[in-house]
Amino acid sequence: MAAMNDDVGWLATIDETINNAFERPTEIFSDIVFFPITIGDFGFPAVVAWLILAGLIFTVYFGVPQLRGLRVGYEVVRGRYSSKEDPGEVTHFQALTSALSGTVGLGNIAGVGAAMALGGPGATFWMICAGLIGMATKFAECTLGVKYREVHADGSVSGGPFKYLPIAFRKLGTVPGKILTGTFAVAILIFGVAGGNMFQANQTFAQVQNVTGGEEGFLGSSGAALVFGLVLAFFVAIVILGGIKSIGATTSRLVPAMGGVYVLACLSVIIANLEQVPGAFASIIEGAFNPQGVAGGILGVMIVGFQRASFSNEAGVGSAAIAHSAVKTRRPVSEGFVALYEPLVDTVLICTMTALAIVIAGAPSLQAGIDQVQAGGGAPDGVILTSDAFATVLPWFPIVLAIAVILFAYSTLITWSYYGLKAWEHLFGRGKVSEVTYKIVFLFFTVAGCVLTFSQVISFADAALFVCAFINLLGVYFLLPVIKKEMREYLADRRSGKLQILGIDEEEMRAGK
């Protein structure tokens, strides 16, 4: 045994070195991004206020698209106003599912668990509110993503913030515009390796370790995290080295299957305990307005809810606009209406089901997680908290969840590798050497994510996420009149019957033809 410990001791040293190297940069980065607005004795991060304010302004400015636009979005997703000859690469349905593949995943599993530990059940209420407000934000940014996209001669598309931010910032001058767009590219690149990469790897290892005996099992030994990270990075490399076609083919198979399994598991817990659902909702609402023991009271639990919701659905970040810009359409705002469904599905529906299952289960780990936060021990592993909750009702589910976590994380990892690559190319240019260099860097952070502590990963990812949101939303503000004009013309044409009802065959749409 002593010999074995000697053999793996160097691995433990590497683990410790990586953690120490990230500790101080993470603290500095978070302090800069989350500078507080002081209200009494409580500090309110300015960037959270920025997100809330933007969502509310967009909601009012566009006349509550969350309500008036859902029917329009549904008709567009079904292909009612679409033609196979429209410029673009994918149907509206495919664009929506592609964007969802980058958001539906560990944010809905680990993120909800972490939110309830940090802010109690009441954080769920504010997550739902953030999801509803975020629908208007997604509407705006995804409309712009299509409006200013570039359709190449071969039919391929380049779109998203890298195309509309330079136009939005022209009023500020060439140099400020380039600096802001470049800063956005750096931030989305950082979030790609932190939230889209390290967070996924970290929680994958945590759940697999949990179902294999925890810290007492074989994955609890020194250096196990490093070895696991290397193996995960190997399988990620197999896909991302094949490019976007390989990524798309993989995610299109993984996400729907595992998403279905997870939703069915949530429904199983909820349906098996229907009599407890009213009480669960009551505790969520009560906790939102009368939180017990949460730092900052109502403001504290509200901030937790909005931060975790933003991490989950990415409304305002600009990442979804990259995926939506590839849609087949001649009317940009049509995809904005489709994008309304992203936060609705991701945050309002799936996150709520997860939270209800956790509250209904009443696993001891929830209170233990809250106690850990209050004691200053940092956020617990959210995926383990969620897993323990399901295990109280479905004892076998942690194993299924471990598989789901691996596949969810895997699909998100490879999707965000593509988003990050686009940011890398904006900063350093295209080319084989540049692309390979980026992928090596990305894979290094996959390994680092398994080794780092959960608190470090989530803090680093949050900071990068909100830098993206600040710059992206600033650009959207400049282009609000453009979006409103597009919306008014489209809805007027729809009412007058000028929009030709073309109707792509639904079977062909599902088949991706």
Please choose, from the candidates 395, 449, 9, the residue with its C-alpha nearest in 3D space to the C-alpha of residue 205.
449
Question: What are the tens digits of pLDDT across the range 463-511?
Answer: 777 788 889 999 999 999 999 999 999 998 888 877 765 444 334 434 4
Strand partners, 44: 37
Does 383 or 251 have the greater pLDDT score?
Answer: 383
Q: Judge contact between 108 and 308, C-beta under 8 A.
A: no
On the question of pLDDT at 8 being above 70, the answer is no
Backbone angles phi, psi at 430, to 5 degrees: -90, 165
Handedness of CA 106, 231, 207, 445 (dihedral sign): negative
Q: Which residue has the higher pLDDT, 33 or 373?
A: 373
Q: How far apart are CA 290 and CA 283, in angstroms?
A: 10
For residue 28, name the pLDDT band (cuts at 50, 70, 90): low
Q: Are 140 and 148 in contact (CB under 8 A)?
A: no
The Cβ of residue 248 has, within 10 Å, a number of other Cβ atoms equal to 20
CB hemisphere CA count around 32 (13 angstroms): 11
How is residue 158 annotated by DSSP? E
> What SS3 state is found at 486?
helix
**Structural domains of the chain, with CATH:** 22-511 (1.20.1740.10)
192: three-class secondary structure by DSSP: helix
| Separation CA 322–CA 342 (nearest Å) | 14
Average pLDDT estimate for 281-291:
79
What confidence category does residue 66 fall into, taking pLDDT thresholds of 50, 70 and 90?
A: very high
Q: What is the pLDDT of residues 91-147, one digit of tens each?
A: 788 778 777 766 776 667 767 777 777 777 778 888 888 889 989 999 999 999 999
For residue 248, what pLDDT band results from cuts at 50, 70 and 90?
low
The Cα 454–Cα 233 span in angstroms is 18
- Distance of alpha carbon 106 from alpha carbon 101, whole angstroms: 11
Q: What pLDDT, on a 0 to 100 scale, did the predictor assign at position 3?
A: 43
The pTM assigned to this predicted structure is 0.76
Q: What is the pLDDT of residues 303-357, one digit of tens each?
A: 777 776 776 777 888 888 888 888 888 889 999 999 999 888 888 888 888 888 8
DSSP-derived secondary structure for 221-285 = STTHHHHHHHHHHHHHHHHHTT-HHHHHHHHHHHHHHHHHHHHHHHHHHHHHTGGGHHHHHHHHH
What pLDDT band is residue 367 in, cutting at 50, 70 and 90?
low
Residue 57 or 238, more confident: 57
Q: Identify the residue with better confidence: 460 or 404.
A: 404
Report DSSP state, residue 35. P
Contact (CB, 8 A) for 438 and 189:
no
| Cα distance between residue 116 and residue 354, in whole Å | 11
* Structure token digits, residue 131: 């999801």
Mean pLDDT over 174-178 rounds to 85
pLDDT mean across residues, the chain = 76
* Amino acid in position 268: S
Of 25-39, 208-222, 415-429, 457-471, give the lowest mean pLDDT range.
25-39
Please give the average per-residue pLDDT across 277-293, as a whole number: 78
CA dihedral (437, 151, 411, 319) positive or negative:
positive
